Structure 1
């Protein structure tokens, strides 16, 4: 298991160095490629990873309590700031 982790770490290091060289040679084109292709691809892989590890909210989650909390924050802030403004 350790050998596999070390191999992955070496590959990641090599890919980072390769990306530095490519960014030096073609900076704007690499930015566009990263934004248009790699960004959405990374997002899609992260969704699958999160779903496999059950990081999403449970079905029986109490949305009303969260909504009440977020609606009460502006009221509390306004009541604290209003005396200073008026």
Structure 2
């Protein structure tokens, strides 16, 4: 710890680059294996497709020529993605997930209406 503090005192930028460039990616390489063993904290292997669809839809809104009209609804889709990830983590059957997704969408819309 003392050696690290001494290095950071004398060469802070170079040490930051070393840690950022080498140790950061090494950390993520070990984390990916760990997340894969934990099944990415979802109850099904194909849960991520809904999040990809929501992300693509958000991307279409942001980068389309009609972005001025769709941007006001972005918080609904972001909240829906957040609540859907919560549903993916805790519910196992397709029926309970579907009901959870519907409730997530309703909550997202209600939050949008109440905040506006």
Normalising by the residue count of structure 1, what TM-score does the alignment of the two structures yield? 0.53
Could you say which residue in structure 1 is the equivalent of 2:115?
81
For residue 30 of structure 1, the aligned residue among 7, 15, 23 is 15
Partner SS, residue 112 of structure 2:
helix
Q: Would you say 1:18 and 2:3 are equivalent positions?
A: yes
For residue 29 of structure 2, the aligned residue among 39, 44, 51 is 44
Q: How many positions carry a matched residue from both structures?
A: 65
RMSD of aligned alpha carbons: 3.0
Contact kept, 8 Å, 2:39 with 2:45, in 1: the verdict is: no
- Report the structure number with the largest CA radius of gyration: 1
Could you say which residue in structure 2 is the equivalent of 1:66?
84
Could you say which residue in structure 2 is the equivalent of 1:6?
none
Compute the displacement of 1:78 (Å).
2.3
Cα deviation code 1:9-47 (max 9, x no counterpart)? xxxxxxx33221211121000111111111111111111
- Structure 2 gaps of 5+ residues are 51-82, 86-100
